[in-house]
Structure 1
Amino acid sequence: MSTATTSQPVDVRENIIATGQRIMAGKGFSAVGLNEILTGAGVPKGSFYHYFGSKDAFGEALLDSYFDDYLAEIDATLAQPGLTMAQRLMNYWQAWQQAQSFFDCQGKCLAVKLAAEVADLSEAMRLALKRGTSGIVTRLARAIEAGVAEGSLSIDDDADSTAHSLYQLWLGASVMVKIGRTMEPFETALSTTRRILHLPPD
């Protein structure tokens, strides 16, 4: 019984965050009111302010939670056994393509959805986005370095610059996919990625 009592506050907080991620991935940050989130989570307003001092503080916690999960998924993808680092990197981009489509992304496209909107609204949320995206780029750079060392890929620039370029390429492609309602920008990004990493066409 004591275990359930101890875990309940964490469960309530995580439930509010998970509900917010799902709703805001579809509607954006500004268009979603606290009442919609709390109704979806099935908790009273008092519970919200027990865990979050404001909507901005909630947004920061939401993004931190999102990136914690996202970075854990990247780590798992880039550590898949029995594959070269080039294959693991291409698996990452394939997973990106599936998660960031213009269909219902179930909260998995949150960073792409909110980045432009909240970076101008909240400094705390902008910094959360910066921390999260920096974590992604750092992991990509390490993976590229490992791929060069093992000989499964090669690059013309340094690993850090290449990782930044690739992340920006895919971020832009994600936006264009949503605008055009077509997966063609991802196909272009995939072929460009193969050229940058000097991999043969798929």
Structure 2
Amino acid sequence: MMASKEKVALKSPFGTKMTSSSTRDRLIEVGLELMRKHGYGATGLQEILHAAGVPKGSFYHHFGSKEEFTAAVIERYFTLEAKHVDTVLNNTRQAPLKRLRRYFEELIQMAGQSAPIAGCLLGSLSLEVADASPLLQSCLSFSFTHWQAAIASVLREAVEKGELPQSTKFESLAGFLLNSWEGALLRSQADENDAPLKDFLRFVFDDLLAK
């Protein structure tokens, strides 16, 4: 998820506080793991504090609320996923569509049923809290928009290099691919197998994007 070389004219909603506090980082790391495993509602403050070994006062020194804390967790997830994007999607030594396929293949390993923690935090939080929290809705939308822009950048390059037709609407296509991936991932979790993710790969790269 998902910074790209293509700039997106959006103001970040995260409101990051410039701090190198190891306590703050520890809380975010623990919160990220617990929310990925259990979701927002099932991850309580006491559970976070106990797992991080941090007193309640320290938590509120860094975060005004669980909502603000979750925004920081989303930002951390966004930053980690952006590193994966940079490693794979921005590797211009490989053909655009080849590295896009490699990217989604690696996402299956990272988020599919064989992963240490299955699923996508952005997707799960979108279902759970986006309609109840304007702050978190904004953070989630920001993250998805930048993720889509990273995919669109690769598709645009594919058009420029003749891998896709000149008529390709790469921005809309990127949104379709991202939305299809998230839907396939959700179905994968419901079925407890990776068949929907493998179907996504096959239909996207063997049919939709095949010349």
In the alignment, residue 175 of structure 1 is paired with which amino acid? Answer: L
The answer to whether the 8 A contact 2:119-2:185 is kept is: no
1:197 maps to 209
Measure, in 2, the Cα distance between the counterparts of 1:95 and 1:136: 15
- Aligned residue for 1:43, secondary structure, equals coil
Between the aligned residues of both structures, percent identity stands at: 30
Measure, in 1, the Cα distance between the counterparts of 2:115 and 2:150: 27
1:186 maps to 197
* Cα deviations by residue, 1:92-145 (Å, 9 ceiling, x for unpaired): 111111112135544873222222101123111111000000000011111100
* Cα deviations by residue, 1:133-173 (Å, 9 ceiling, x for unpaired): 00000111111000111123447640001000000100000
Structure 2: 5+ residue stretches without partners: 1-18
The answer to whether the 8 A contact 1:21-1:107 is kept is: no
In the alignment of these two chains, the number of paired residues is 193
Greater share of helix: 1
In the alignment, residue 196 of structure 1 is paired with which amino acid? Answer: L
Q: Which has the higher contact order (CA 8 A, sep 6+)?
A: 2
Measure, in 2, the Cα distance between the counterparts of 1:61 and 1:108: 19
What is the CA-CA distance between 1:44 and the residue it aligns to?
Answer: 0.8
In the alignment, residue 21 of structure 2 is paired with which amino acid? Answer: V
Measure, in 2, the Cα distance between the counterparts of 1:123 and 1:103: 33
Superposition RMSD on alpha carbons, in Å? Answer: 2.1
Among candidates 53, 63, 66, match of residue 52 of structure 1: 63
What is the CA-CA distance between 1:75 and the residue it aligns to?
Answer: 1.9
- Per the normalisation by structure 2, the TM-score is 0.84
Measure, in 2, the Cα distance between the counterparts of 1:104 and 1:145: 30
The answer to whether the 8 A contact 1:24-1:110 is kept is: yes
Structure 1: 5+ residue stretches without partners: 1-7
Q: Do structure 1's residue 176 and structure 2's residue 176 form an aligned pair?
A: no
2:80 maps to 69
The answer to whether the 8 A contact 1:170-1:189 is kept is: yes
In the alignment, residue 122 of structure 2 is paired with which amino acid? Answer: A
1:120 maps to 131
* Cα deviations by residue, 1:54-105 (Å, 9 ceiling, x for unpaired): 0000011111121122123212211225311111101111111111213554
Among candidates 129, 132, 135, match of residue 143 of structure 2: 132
